[in-house]
Structure 1
Amino acid sequence: MPEYKTEHEEAYLCTSVLLPDDPLKLIGVEPLSKQEVVHHMLLFGCAKPASSEKVWDCHTHSVCAEAGSHVLYGWAKNADAMHLPPGVGFRVGQGTGTRHLVLQVHYTHTRPPGDQSGMRLKLTDAALPFSAGMMMYASYFQIPPQKPSHLVPTKCCYAGFEPAYGFAYRVHTHALGRSVYMDRIEKDGSHSRVCEHSPQLPQGFTPVSNITFLPGQVLEATCDFDSSERTEVTHAGSTHHHEMCNLYMMMWSELPVFMTCSGQGTWSDAASVDPHGPGGLPAAGRLVQEAPQHWGPPPPYMPERPSASHLGQVAGVAKGPAGSVWVLHRGGRVWDATSFEGPALERITYKEPIGENVVIQLDQDTGEVLAQFGAGEFYMPHMTTVDNSGNVWTTDVGTHVATKWSPAGKKLLELGTPLEPGSDRTHFCKPTQVAVALDGTLYVGDGYCNSRVVEFSAEGEWRGEFVLPGEALRNPHSVVLQECSRALYVAEREASRVHRFSLDTRQLEGTWDLAEYGPVYALAAGPYGAVLALSWNRDKEGQPTHVVLLNDNQVGKITGAWSVPDVQAPHDMAVIAAPMRLAGKERPVALLIGETRPSGSRLQKYILLPEGEALPVEAGESQQVSARQQWREVLGAAVGESTTTTRVTLLGEVRRLGAGNGAGIGNAFSQVLLVGLPLTVLVGVAALALWSLSGPPLPQADLKLVSKAHMSPQQRFA
């Protein structure tokens, strides 16, 4: 912290540094202070700091000037240094939402002369495969006096679209805190403990082993306070006379997730997340097709050159676990005007099942085939879904069944009666897609010749139906869940509409009319509670295709739409992370879109780039990087296995820049010495220090106690 005289106790001081024009990853933090001097320190990532001064009072003022600030690290009570897991880092610097780092220091008393409190940071310019993020809990509360135990719970729902893995957590209270813990809350109301720590111990980040957080899980942080010695009510506040209730969970995932929970119940609220921030969808952007040298799934099936290893009509695509995707295709079979007969075209005309393996697992970055099954099982495959246990769900409009498969291809459950269309509790008529809830509850779109979505228990027992009031659903073609908002989304293809139903009452809550974009073929969940719709206007000249972002906060409103280039007869899509080679900056979102053309159907990959950005121009063909291998290395390192050949040796350390040295962080970055070892991959690592700068003391505003009425969200954390 640069020189700045404090005249009052409980001073909150902030200073900022501008990061170099390079994409960097923060991989470690070493605190440089003592408990006797500093109550706590926080490191924020900001697009722009709240002040251009070297030091400013951030007790009653903001830390960052714009929305989207993120806590990257916190320290108190002489906690130790922290190192992120191999392959994981906070993305900062050029091309990310974090261009500045802001250090906040809360001094318990007046700042002593010669104080040099700060943090030493380790950064790398290597392209790490996974991004670090943070769940942050804080709340307003008051504690009655003379209570040996007073609980302050703060509950929210994890609205990410992919699992996240907790690797370290930190708790914080003031003097009254006895314990801080996190629980998962199950659907039946039961609690299971995730982590627990005493806030009176050193308040750094405690390592944990890859705690898995799944989309839709309700997570509750609770602080237990002992006010036995207090004679008055204790309020939440920013001084040590007040109390705080904080829990931070660091986690890694392919795309970063930053969420703030203050007890409103969902992290999809606009006040709790930045939907266009790290890991989110860009406010403005475009879809760019991935180059063929980087994306190589099996080639399209061509009737004139039939091959069992080629992709037929790509009817379904779904994100799978650990860097994989699952694809459902039709082999050499084509759905055309002769495929079905009967009054409702409900009976398939083919007498034998498809002979090829039509369920295929691919590496999501390269397109390499990892596994396949399904030969002799399907008549007309339609769509696929992967549940949170990694099981694969498929629908077959030829046999009128929905089926659950193990990843190895073992049939685990079948809904419907094979080859018998119907509309009762044991029959479907050309079912379209399955959505699977956290507790295993099943929702089946039914279908081309029925007008409903059917709900089943995890064991396959019929529970009820979702229908439109007063009219029939014209082909409920795709279904997707958002469990944090307790909603089921249904794509009514032939009416070009999307409907939202309550999971609790099965009642219609609202409708989006997408007639401007055409029939809605597929739905997919995206970052921070987003719902995306794939629309193909097959009757319009040029047959344009769009991916439409629905506004979940205003039913019926559309947040944005992106045109999809070079696609024909799109049928399904999946949201994934962009490939590893694009992970140097903020890793973008990517889409996989499957075609069902009569011949030459493709599985296309598109990168959703923010406005003004382009894919990197690479000299020659770069080597493809396997997403599957990246997952093996990080998960292997977490359990102590040596699976990676990447090693870093840091020979030099950036010295603390003294008074009068205005060289800046760019020069500090360049002072790091690196060496490559045999059979190693050299990556650049920099150890950076928040340094002291000279200059006359700035005027110190009178500090005052901060009440609930004018505490900023950033002042609820410590």
Structure 2
Amino acid sequence: MARVGNDGLQSSRSTPLRRIRCCLPDRLHSGPNRVRNTRTALRSGPERSRDTRTEFSDVTTLRYEPVVGWEHLPAGYAHPDVAAVAVDSKDRVFLFCRSEHPVMIYERDGRFVGTWGEGVFTMRTHGITIGPDDSVYCTDDAGHSVRKFSPDGTLLLTLGDNAGKPSESGYNGSDLTTVARGASPFNRPTNLAVAPNGDLFVSDGYGNARVHRFSATGKLLGSWGEQGTGPGQFMLPHSIAVDATGNVLVCDRESDRIQVFTADGRFLREITEVQRPTQIVLARGLLYVSELGWRAGQRSFRHGPIERDLPGRVTILDANGTVVARIGGPDPCAPGSFCAPHGLAVDADGDLYVAEVMWTIAGKAGLVPPDCHTIQKLHRID
């Protein structure tokens, strides 16, 4: 079995690292439906278990075009990894970066607004979520912390009783397969979702195969999960969302699936039309999923050995879990294609923002040039 390291990458002695290559239509057709941003209610149905290792399908339901040069990055600023992105009620765009300026804020046209969080987070910033009241929830995996801030960066709430200290799960700090038991919050948590009733759900994480449920005021209400590949088990709960009915969706990244639960943790179904899902966003009646790529020689806990390179992408599904669009292309640094999609957001007009951990996944190994994109805006064409 392949070893999964501290950054979520698998090592392979037999296959050298190389650039991602595949083929995909570079533009996807869109229908006329145009509605405002709303929560999605995921419909129940039979378990889906199709093999996602095949070539990307020519799905032609939606169409997007990249907005080249969207971000007006201030002189002297850089973000080799953008771990996550979110939009607030005014469609301002919040980037959560592994850089000197962790939270960077932009208008939807790319104009720079400001930053906050300097000196607050580790260099493993991971997830950002904006609640209905525009509160900003930041998940710092190396800091073992999940915190709530005002839109201008004032700390409002810290979840858990041991923020900054990893819980005792048996995790050795570098290999996620060493997680021996489910533990209390947190051990390298990954993201947070706000339920319609205000409850907070946290995916936890690289070092703890659990989901934790908190009240809006931060009281721990319950937890579920353990390491494994069965229903209710996780190999890496990497992100989380809650639909309009209160059901909880968890990206089980290294098992190539999204699991769906009731709010109290009862398993309902899984969606397997995804590869290494890193984040899921529910909006406009659809499920938007960012997905990391696989390299030949790596091993999926669902599919086994990966025989060929599969690039990162964005997949859009309907409420039944049926794929309606896939976005990406053969060159990981081309506009509208992806090197390392790690998070995404959807604004009120249906435009996409995709955050990429380019440096962690490919840049530091020399697989892509250092100026490869780390945040992209994709405009929906109706």
TM-score in same-fold range (> 0.5): yes
Shift of 1:533: 1.4
Check conservation: 1:501, 1:510, Cα contact below 8 A: yes
Q: 354, 357, 369: which one pairs with 1:596? A: 357
Cα distance in structure 1, aligned partners of 2:275 and 2:311: 9
User: Relative to 1, partners in 2 of residues 1:426 and 1:507: Cα closer, same or farther, differing over 3 Å?
Assistant: closer
Cα distance in structure 2, aligned partners of 1:539 and 1:478: 22
User: Relative to 1, partners in 2 of residues 1:386 and 1:558: Cα closer, same or farther, differing over 3 Å?
Assistant: same
Residue identity in the other structure for 2:208: N
What pairs with 1:501-540 in structure 2 (closer than 5 Å)? 501-503=261-263, 505-514=264-273, 518-528=275-285, 530-540=286-296
Aligned residue number for residue 163 of structure 2: 418
Aligned residue number for residue 576 of structure 1: 347
Cα distance in structure 1, aligned partners of 2:31 and 2:246: 32
Shift of 1:479: 0.5
- The CA deviation string for residues 578-629 of structure 1, in whole angstroms up to 9 with x for no partner, is 5xxxxxxxxxx3211111122445211112336xxxxxxxxxxxxxxxxxxx
User: Relative to 1, partners in 2 of residues 1:477 and 1:97: Cα closer, same or farther, differing over 3 Å?
Assistant: closer
User: Relative to 1, partners in 2 of residues 1:512 and 1:426: Cα closer, same or farther, differing over 3 Å?
Assistant: closer
Q: 282, 303, 317: which one pairs with 2:85? A: 317
- The CA deviation string for residues 195-253 of structure 1, in whole angstroms up to 9 with x for no partner, is xxxxxxxxxxxxxxxxxxxx48xxxxxxxxxxxxxxxxxxxxxxxxxxxxxxxxxxxxx
Cα distance in structure 2, aligned partners of 1:97 and 1:289: 19
Cα distance in structure 2, aligned partners of 1:480 and 1:291: 29
What pairs with 1:146-165 in structure 2 (closer than 5 Å)? 161-162=37-38
What pairs with 1:217-616 in structure 2 (closer than 5 Å)? 284-292=61-69, 295-298=70-73, 307=76, 309-331=77-99, 356-365=100-109, 367-379=110-122, 380-416=124-160, 417-423=162-168, 427-467=185-225, 472-483=233-244, 485-503=245-263, 505-514=264-273, 518-528=275-285, 530-540=286-296, 543-553=310-320, 557-563=322-328, 565-577=336-348, 589-598=350-359, 599-600=370-371, 601-609=373-381
Cα distance in structure 2, aligned partners of 1:478 and 1:447: 8
- Bigger Rg, structure 1 or 2: 1
Aligned residue number for residue 644 of structure 1: none
Shift of 1:439: 2.9
Residue identity in the other structure for 2:278: Y
Consecutive aligned runs of 4 or more in structure 1 exceeding 6 Å deviation:
266-269
Cα distance in structure 2, aligned partners of 1:428 and 1:596: 22
Which structure has more relative contact order (CA 8 Å, sep 6+)? It is 2
Aligned Cα RMSD in Å?
A: 3.0
User: Relative to 1, partners in 2 of residues 1:441 and 1:577: Cα closer, same or farther, differing over 3 Å?
Assistant: closer
Check conservation: 2:43, 2:319, Cα contact below 8 A: no
Q: Say which is worse superposed, 411-420 or 467-476, in terms of deviation.
A: 467-476
Cα distance in structure 2, aligned partners of 1:408 and 1:534: 27
Shift of 1:538: 2.9
- The CA deviation string for residues 343-400 of structure 1, in whole angstroms up to 9 with x for no partner, is xxxxxxxxxxxxx3311221112x1222321011111211100000101001111110
Cα distance in structure 2, aligned partners of 1:543 and 1:425: 33
Cα distance in structure 2, aligned partners of 1:470 and 1:518: 17
Gaps of 5+ in 1: 1-94, 99-130, 134-159, 163-214, 217-265, 270-281, 301-306, 332-355, 579-588, 611-718
Shift of 1:489: 0.8
Q: Report the TM-score when normalising by structure 1.
A: 0.38
What pairs with 1:612-627 in structure 2 (closer than 5 Å)? none
Cα distance in structure 2, aligned partners of 1:525 and 1:506: 19
Check conservation: 1:299, 1:602, Cα contact below 8 A: no
User: Relative to 1, partners in 2 of residues 1:97 and 1:317: Cα closer, same or farther, differing over 3 Å?
Assistant: closer
Residue identity in the other structure for 2:254: E
Cα distance in structure 2, aligned partners of 1:513 and 1:439: 28
SS at the partner of 1:285? coil
User: Relative to 1, partners in 2 of residues 1:97 and 1:523: Cα closer, same or farther, differing over 3 Å?
Assistant: closer
Cα distance in structure 2, aligned partners of 1:608 and 1:576: 10
What pairs with 1:22-101 in structure 2 (closer than 5 Å)? 97=32
By percentage of residues, which structure has more strand?
Answer: 1
Check conservation: 1:522, 1:535, Cα contact below 8 A: yes
Residue identity in the other structure for 2:187: C
Residue identity in the other structure for 2:377: K
- The CA deviation string for residues 57-76 of structure 1, in whole angstroms up to 9 with x for no partner, is xxxxxxxxxxxxxxxxxxxx
Q: Report the TM-score when normalising by structure 2.
A: 0.69
Check conservation: 1:297, 1:603, Cα contact below 8 A: no
Residue identity in the other structure for 1:545: G
SS at the partner of 1:494? helix
Cα distance in structure 2, aligned partners of 1:314 and 1:470: 31
Check conservation: 1:466, 1:507, Cα contact below 8 A: no
User: Relative to 1, partners in 2 of residues 1:96 and 1:479: Cα closer, same or farther, differing over 3 Å?
Assistant: closer
